[in-house]
């Protein structure tokens, strides 16, 4: 991964794209996981935490009958964005 380390605003932008239906959860999770695999590249603890959360976007919840199959709801994502100061 030779790209510049993302800024907090970029992660928030990608999370907002998931909420808007403009980006698939799996794609954003894979992108974030690429950065999580390189912890030495991410010095900002708030950025690190948000990337860790974003990397978990596509996790599914067993027994989600009648609900979203994902472990994290849209409300969770909105909370992450708000906590990052990106609301």
DSSP labels, 8-75: HHHHHHHHHHHHHTSS-HHHHHHHHHHHHT-GGG---HHHHHHHHHHTTTT-B-TT-TTS-SBSS-HH
Residues 40-51 have a mean pLDDT of 94
- Residue ranges of the domains in the chain? 8-83
Check: pTM over 0.75? Answer yes or no: yes
Predicted local confidence at residue 2, as pLDDT: 53
Q: If pLDDT is split at 50, 70 and 90, which confidence band does 56 have?
A: very high
For residue 57, is pLDDT > 90? yes
Residues 60-86 have a mean pLDDT of 85
């Amino acid at each position: 991964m030779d790209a510049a380390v993302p800024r907090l605003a970029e992660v928030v932008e990608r999370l907002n794209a998931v909420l808007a239906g403009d980006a698939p959860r799996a794609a954003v999770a894979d992108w974030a996981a690429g950065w999580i695999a390189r912890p030495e590249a991410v010095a900002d603890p708030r950025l690190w935490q948000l990337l860790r959360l974003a990397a978990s976007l596509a996790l599914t919840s067993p027994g989600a009958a009648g609900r979203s199959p994902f472990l994290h709801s849209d409300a969770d994502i909105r909370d992450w964005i708000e906590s990052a100061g990106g609301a």
